[in-house]
Structure 1
């Protein structure tokens, strides 16, 4: 009995041992980047003892890399040297070099730990109440470098930023990066805040001046302007391209990385941080999306998006451990590992878990459940076994030696690659195929410079090009076309490959005869032609002359103006709409209008795309919308239409009817840009998205004017009133307009606007006694006015009638024997409440007895006494006035104070 029991226990122990081994093996992975961000805002490396603890923790818990914050807010936790202008931080002892101590301890002993120097690029100060204490801090020394929003404020989001569009700010950050990388044996250089803080930013005066000069503009662009957004993205990318090429030239094995917004659409649209493009071009070695969330669904979606946007480089995912329990941090790390990523870095060392911080428990759990053994950092193939190289250089002028911005640099590889030099004249081609190639550079107003290079695997080759001052090459004209053609105007557009002026010659033949021009030197040309004849074929050609007076002329082209009165459709695609809030840009839908569209999840309605037409002809317009349909679209995308009658919201089911124009309705629009259509995020079905693609406005031609009224007649009824009647001969009038004159045949003055279907009008104002008046009537609608009716005339009575009315009625009883009579005293006054003498008042007694048609005449006090017949009946008797007559009098019953009165017995 004992032997079987021992055998069973032995097998059970073996099963448990194998299971444990398998679990451990499942959590292991050779060569995996396991880093932790170590911030400078608390214990971590503020003295040598803290560094010793940090390094011990990394080796104990199997972290093979640290990303350490050596620049907190424009200061240095190392020993800076000129031209690096960052001052020493006040957070550590003046003699303590935190970076060197980290390198010493991480690189000595085993296993070796990589040191990546973390530096926020553009966020340089955060205190609104006091400036940095160091006089040499960039905030104090160069306030002209600071970012501004469109209102001119310098504090935004997390604090004060350097503007990437200011060349001086970029040079300041470049000097800092070169100083650290050239003097310290770091393994990697890690950028943070290499972006703009928000969409409404980038309005530094120097940056805006550069932007306006580049595109021939003035004033401030809107924060959502597509061209301005592209330009701001370029400023960040240009800086990274320049800096990365120079860092790798001095330290080829340096790993250049950056922490970026994990939401790629937010990074692209609101921060102007196009990290997917950086990965495709190879500007970074490692990109680390800050996937800070405790929502695993959101975390997984962002991780999946990162996986397909690694380009030619590598992404390590950065979970926000400070938002998560230790268990969920491991869950997220496992998702990253199982997706196939070769590493991660979590934030942060000082706060590794949500709730009450417990470094020991959290790091122990992460080690035991995710990284139980030490693994080395994985190699980067493009550094370990490179197959391509990098070409960089500077473009300058031969005559002055000044750098050249926006020079076009061409690397004649296969395929040919081109690039614009950045604000310091720098260019750099990463991932260049090995071999020997020619390189050329050109710029507006300058000649061409040529050179030859041989690209070697893993090498960084420098080729500086100097442009001659004499330019003999005329602009190259392309994309000439006509658009926005109406019955009297047209717009001519074209492009040139360098800044040049704009001239359009046009006319009825190829001799032209007319011209419009602009002296501004631009590459995108627009000339508006006006005063053209309708339904006419016009010939035209364009001319452009550069700053060196080299001119090009296009061939002959034609356009035909529209027929008179024709109004062209207005189509506004989403890139031309005004954007409020954070909307993502999409291109994948096959049924989109144009090249892209915008989309957004449910919100409060404050985020929108506004489509504002420039209405040249007032009137009715059919409004259409275009959306890409799909099952994740909202069933009720709010479309707010502002028009002459107010505003209306129409909800569009975007799961159907995609890829076509859908009519929303017909609305009246005034001339100008005061009305619009807005697509908002205020829809009801959460989890869906609203699409904002394109809106079209189609003018509805007005109807023909209505038929003229006829048989107009005029009758004078007093010295101050003439009554009109006529025949309505139209079924589509909107109004009738009555006009009057004291001269036969006019001119007439409009005196009344009446509703449709009217056939009479009483003119009781503006008339004098004994005067002849002449009248005409016309019908009108949105198409215009009919002809006048026949003229009718009437002469007012010589003396105006006195308008009289009842002022009061006093009732009483008169007894005769055993019978009673009811008596009514009616007070009659004129329009000025003056008693009227001689007015005959007629009325009826009703109730207990009836006595109709009785009357009395008013005395000098205006009182008319009217008495009923005798009666023995009892009850209530009421007297009601039915008429007042008299010479020169007119009874105005509408002015009565009272019309009847009662008495009872």
Structure 2
């Protein structure tokens, strides 16, 4: 089962000044209704009389994983259940692992759709069903995550097979692979073997954002969707590097050297040239901080280009991104400078994946995101890890996000909340959230 998580949930030291003060702008919110949340979401539970205000146009969203898009029946049921539970926005995964759950010009149809007729278009059907019920639909695309380690793509047209030179390379095998042809079967094998040995931090095989051809490919995918489908929004995920161990591919190393050299003196350039003859990683080892700056710049370049292209074609479309809620982790370990994106006006909505079960940590993470976004005139939808917590805890976090002044919430995920489990024994998670947090309706978000 696809899993989303944040590796380090503790607040970063550089944001403690933000974390001790709640977002002051909450007092300026316009309110249209009040919810009376329950301390016990079951029928007959004791009511908690804390009054929590609802912001105008509150986004009540669900991340919908691609498994739910594999048949018309699943899509119909998903839209029906989401609507009945009071949600108004669906963020549906249409690019999961370098494949397509829509009619794509650039990538192969998902293998999970093999039993469906060729004319079955999951995104088109979701849009028709959801719009018919007044729900917004955002197309969710995984950016860098390309393939599952235990189910590598067989399709020769898949990027994994067609462009092995686009794969992100971990530092541990970079020297070995630097002089090897990416077309050599051993090239991919070594990447996969290392990744399997480091599953604790990796979810699969990734592409490298420092490769300009990778960025162009992602750009084309976005433009393909925005020009074909009446989506209400487009959603980045995995718009980052996999971990601090990436990307040390030949393409990335050469791009870094080209980016770095104008910043060096003549003597430094000469010394680096000599060092690189002995060690292809010499530049990254000597200029570690600059390599981090370079990596962040590559991701930001991608986000900026896509954002402006979307707005030129469809100014009404919302561009959002799922980001690491611990911004220090995002900045230093994923090279994902999402706070800068908000300040640069190249992201409409930040969606911090604040999946911690601890509501105090959740509060601090959403405070940092909300203060950053609102100062820049942008928005925040608080990501809640429903798969890790009971419905009562999700309701507590929804109300915490409202108190802070977040513009909406997103539960991860629809798929978990409708499946029976230890945390969801009756499979009625959405209904329990509706009763406790969504009893008062809100308008369809703009």
Global fold match (TM > 0.5):
yes
Question: Which residue in 2 is equivalent to 1:256?
Answer: 319
TM-score with structure 2 setting the length: 0.75
The answer (yes or no) to whether the contact 1:166–1:204 under 8 Å persists in 2 is no
Corresponding residue to 2:144 among 105, 122, 131: 122
Q: Which residue of 2 aligns with 1:73?
A: 97
2:130 to 99, 106, 109: 106
How far did 1:22 drift?
11
The equivalent residue for 2:334 is 271
Deviation at 1:75?
A: 0.3
Deviation of 1:355 (Å): 2.3
How far apart are residue 131 of structure 1 and its match? 3.3
CA distance in 1 between counterparts of 2:241 and 2:315 reads: 29
Q: Conserved in 2, the CA contact under 8 Å of 1:150 and 1:223? A: no
Match of 1:31 among 36, 57, 64: 57
Alignment of structure 1 residues 420-435 onto 2, 5 Å: none
Give the CA deviation at 1:308: 1.9
- Tell me the secondary structure at the aligned position of residue 112 of structure 2: coil
- Equivalent of 1:286 in 340, 345, 349: 349
Shift of 1:213: 2.4
Higher strand share: 1
Between the aligned partners of 2:149 and 2:119, the Cα distance in structure 1 is: 26
86 and 249 in structure 1: CA distance in 2 versus 1, 3 angstrom threshold: same
1:233 to 296, 305, 329: 296
Residues of 1 paired with 2:58 and 2:400: CA distance? 14
Equivalent position to 1:245, from 295, 305, 308: 308
Q: Which has the higher contact order (CA 8 A, sep 6+)?
A: 2
The SS at the match of 2:295 is helix
Please say if residues 69 and 101 of structure 2, whose CA atoms lie closer than 8 Å, have aligned partners that are also in contact: no
TM norm structure 1: 0.38
Residue aligned with 1:318, SS: strand
Whole-angstrom CA distance in 1 between matches of 2:410 and 2:296: 26
Aligned residue for 1:315, secondary structure, equals: strand
Give the one of 340, 343, 368 matched to 2:435: 368
Matched residue, 1:301:
364
For the Cα contact (< 8 Å) 1:342–1:378, is it kept in 2?
A: no
State whether residues 24 and 372 of structure 1, in contact with CA within 8 Å, keep that contact through their aligned partners in structure 2.
Answer: no
User: How has the CA–CA distance of structure 1 residues 197 and 372 changed in structure 2, closer, same or farther, with 3 Å as cutoff?
Assistant: same
Shift in CA distance, 51/25, structure 1 to aligned 2, threshold 3 Å: farther
| Residue of structure 2 equivalent to 1:731 | none
- TM-aligned CA distance change 1:224 to 1:54, over 3 Å: farther
| 8 A Cα contact 1:199 1:223, kept in partner | no
What is the Cα deviation at residue 362 of structure 1? 1.3
Change (3 A) 1:305 1:29: closer
Say if 1:239 and 1:229 are closer, same or farther in 2 by CA, change over 3 A: same
Structure 2 CA distance for partners of 1:47 and 1:223, relative to 1, 3 Å? farther
- 1:753 maps to what in 2? none
- Structure 2 residue runs without a partner (length 5+): 1-45, 175-189, 196-201, 262-271
1:317 aligns with 2:382: yes
Q: What is the alpha-carbon distance in structure 1 between the residues aligned to residue 441 and residue 108 of structure 2? A: 38
- Alignment partner, residue 415 of structure 2: 350
Distance, in Å, in 1 between the alignment partners of 2:291 and 2:436 is 48
**Residues of 2 paired with 1:351 and 1:265: CA distance?**
28
Structure 1's 338 and 363: CA in aligned 2 closer, same or farther, altered over 3 A? same
Inter-CA distance 377–287: structure 2 relative to 1 (3 Å threshold): farther
The CA deviation string for residues 548-586 of structure 1, in whole angstroms up to 9 with x for no partner, is: xxxxxxxxxxxxxxxxxxxxxxxxxxxxxxxxxxxxxxx
Q: Is the 8 A contact 2:53 2:402 kept in 1?
A: no
Q: Which of 341, 346, 351 matches 2:406?
A: 341
Whole-angstrom CA distance in 2 between matches of 1:257 and 1:247 = 12
Contact 1:166 1:207 in 2 (8 A): yes
Structure 1 pair 224–215 and aligned structure 2 pair: CA distance change class (3 A): closer
Residues 389 and 423, structure 2, Cα contact 8 Å, conserved in 1 = no
1:350-499 correspondence runs (5 A): 350-352=415-417, 355-358=422-425, 360-379=427-446
Q: Which residue in the other structure is 2:250 paired with?
A: 205
- Assess if the C-alpha contact under 8 Å between 2:141 and 2:237 holds in 1: yes
Cα offset, 1:346, TM superposition: 1.0
Report which of the two structures shows the higher radius of gyration computed on alpha carbons: 1
Deviation at 1:377, TM superposition (A): 4.0
Gaps in structure 1 of 5+ consecutive residues: 1-19, 380-905
Q: 1:285 to 1:359 in 2, by over 3 A?
A: farther
Superposition deviation, residue 259 in structure 1: 0.1
**In structure 2, C-alpha distance between the alignment counterparts of 1:267 and 1:116, rounded to whole Å:** 23
Contact 1:289 1:317 in 2 (8 A): yes
| 8 Å Cα contact 1:199-1:224 kept in structure 2 | no
Q: Does residue 1:145 correspond to 2:169, yes or no?
A: no
Give the 4+ runs in structure 1 shifted more than 2 A.
Answer: 20-30, 151-156, 213-219, 352-361, 376-379
The alpha carbon displacement at 1:50 in A equals 1.1
Query: Cα 1:63–1:358, aligned 2, differ >3 Å: closer, same or farther?
Result: farther
- Structure 1 partner of 2:186: none
1:107-126 per-residue CA deviation (whole Å, 9 max, x = no partner) reads: 11x4x100000110001112
Query: Over the residues paired in the alignment, what is the CA RMSD in angstroms?
Result: 2.2
Residues 596-640 of structure 1, C-alpha deviation per residue, up to 9 Å, x if partnerless?
xxxxxxxxxxxxxxxxxxxxxxxxxxxxxxxxxxxxxxxxxxxxx
Q: Is residue 2:226 matched to residue 1:181?
A: yes
Correspondence 1:803-818 to 2 at 5 A? none
Note the alpha carbon deviations across 1:617-675, whole angstroms, 9 max, x for none: xxxxxxxxxxxxxxxxxxxxxxxxxxxxxxxxxxxxxxxxxxxxxxxxxxxxxxxxxxx
CA distance in 1, matches of 2:126, 2:443: 18
- Alignment-derived partner of residue 736 in structure 1: none
